[in-house]
Homo-oligomer: A and B are copies of this chain.
Amino acid sequence: MANWENLDTYESYKKLLSLKGQVSLVRELTAERAASYSVPMASGMAYNYAAKEVNAQIMQVLQQLADEAALTEKFAELYNGAVINTGEQRKVLHHLARGQLGGAVTHDGKDERAFYVSQQQAIARFASEVHNGNIVNAAGEKYTTVCQIGIGGSDLGPRALYLALEQWAKANGCLKMTARFISNVDPDDCAGVAGITDLAHTLFILVSKSGTTQETLANELFVKSFLEKAGLDPAKHMIAVTSETSPLANNPAYLASFYMDDFIGGRFSSTSAVGGAVLSLAFGADVFDRLLQGAHAADMTAKETDITKNAAMLDALIGVYERNVQGYPATAVLPYSQALSRFPAHLQQADMESNGKQVNRFGKPVQYATGPVIFGEPGTNGQHSFYQLLHQGTDIVPLQFIGFKKNQSGADIEVSGSTSQKKLCANLAAQIAAFALGKQDENPNKQFPGGRPSSLIYGEELTPETLGTLLAHYENKIMFQGFLWNLNSFDQEGVQLGKVLTKKVLAGETDGALSVYAGLLGV
Tell me the complex Cα distance, A186–B340, Å.
Answer: 11
Tell me the complex Cα distance, A492–B30, Å.
Answer: 28
- Count A interface residues, CB 8 Å: 157
Q: Which of B155, B372, B381, B493 contacts A446 (CB 8 A)?
A: B493
- Do A166 and B185 contact each other (CB < 8 Å), given the known contacts A413-B221, A425-B522, A432-B517? no
Judged by a CB distance under 8 angstroms, whether A437 is at the interface is: yes
- Do A151 and B380 contact each other (CB < 8 Å), given the known contacts A31-B512, A449-B358, A498-B431? yes
Tell me the complex Cα distance, A359–B221, Å.
Answer: 55
Do B520 and A48 touch across chains, with their CB atoms under 8 A apart?
Answer: yes
Q: Give the oligomeric copy count.
A: 2
Q: Which of A436, A500, A520 has the most CB of B within 10 A?
A: A520
Q: Which of B217, B338, B433, B493 contacts A184 (CB 8 A)?
A: B338
Which of A69-77, A115-123, A134-142, A393-401 is near enough to bind chain B?
A393-401
Q: Which of B354, B356, B458, B501 contacts A434 (CB 8 A)?
A: B501
Do B352 and A426 touch across chains, with their CB atoms under 8 A apart?
Answer: no
Do A411 and B520 touch across chains, with their CB atoms under 8 A apart?
Answer: no
Which of A54-62, A284-292, A295-303, A360-368 is near enough to bind chain B?
A360-368
Judged by a CB distance under 8 angstroms, whether A109 is at the interface is: no
Chain B residues whose CB sits within 8 angstroms of the CB of A352 once the complex forms: 385-386, 388-389, 393
Do A429 and B391 touch across chains, with their CB atoms under 8 A apart?
Answer: no
Closest chain-B Cβ to A493's Cβ sits at a distance in Å of 5
Do B443 and A363 touch across chains, with their CB atoms under 8 A apart?
Answer: yes
Tell me the complex Cα distance, A411–B495, Å.
Answer: 28
Chain B residues whose CB sits within 8 angstroms of the CB of A252 once the complex forms: none
Judged by a CB distance under 8 angstroms, whether A29 is at the interface is: yes
Judged by a CB distance under 8 angstroms, whether A250 is at the interface is: no
Within 8 A of B (CB), among A223-273: 225, 266
Tell me the complex Cα distance, A84–B48, Å.
Answer: 42
Q: List 24 A-B contacts (CB under 8 A).
A: A30-B513, A156-B381, A186-B420, A188-B407, A222-B412, A222-B420, A352-B393, A353-B389, A356-B388, A358-B394, A363-B443, A371-B393, A371-B394, A374-B386, A375-B375, A391-B494, A417-B506, A422-B523, A423-B502, A426-B505, A426-B521, A429-B501, A429-B523, A430-B502
Which of A16-24, A124-132, A189-197, A471-479 is near enough to bind chain B?
A189-197
Judged by a CB distance under 8 angstroms, whether A383 is at the interface is: yes
Judged by a CB distance under 8 angstroms, whether A209 is at the interface is: no
Q: Which of A152, A438, A449 has the most CB of B within 10 A?
A: A152
Q: Which of A30, A34, A444, A517 has the most CB of B within 10 A?
A: A517
Q: Which of B393, B436, B446, B521 contacts A429 (CB 8 A)?
A: B521
Judged by a CB distance under 8 angstroms, whether A50 is at the interface is: yes
Do A423 and B29 touch across chains, with their CB atoms under 8 A apart?
Answer: no
Q: Which of B170, B185, B429, B432 contacts A423 (CB 8 A)?
A: B185
Do B383 and A498 touch across chains, with their CB atoms under 8 A apart?
Answer: yes
Chain B residues whose CB sits within 8 angstroms of the CB of A325 once the complex forms: none
Tell me the complex Cα distance, A408–B195, Å.
Answer: 13
Nearest residue in B to A391 (C-beta to C-beta)?
B494
Q: Which of B496, B500, B518 contacts A425 (CB 8 A)?
A: B518
Interface string of A478-502 (1 = CB under 8 A from B): 0000000000100111111111111
Chain B residues whose CB sits within 8 angstroms of the CB of A390 once the complex forms: 356, 494
Tell me the complex Cα distance, A505–B427, Å.
Answer: 8
Closest chain-B Cβ to A224's Cβ sits at a distance in Å of 9
Nearest residue in B to A33 (C-beta to C-beta)?
B513
Judged by a CB distance under 8 angstroms, whether A3 is at the interface is: no
Which of A93-101, A198-206, A313-321, A329-337 is near enough to bind chain B?
A329-337
Chain B residues whose CB sits within 8 angstroms of the CB of A411 once the complex forms: 187-188, 190-191, 222
Do B445 and A152 touch across chains, with their CB atoms under 8 A apart?
Answer: no
Tell me the complex Cα distance, A395–B504, Å.
Answer: 28
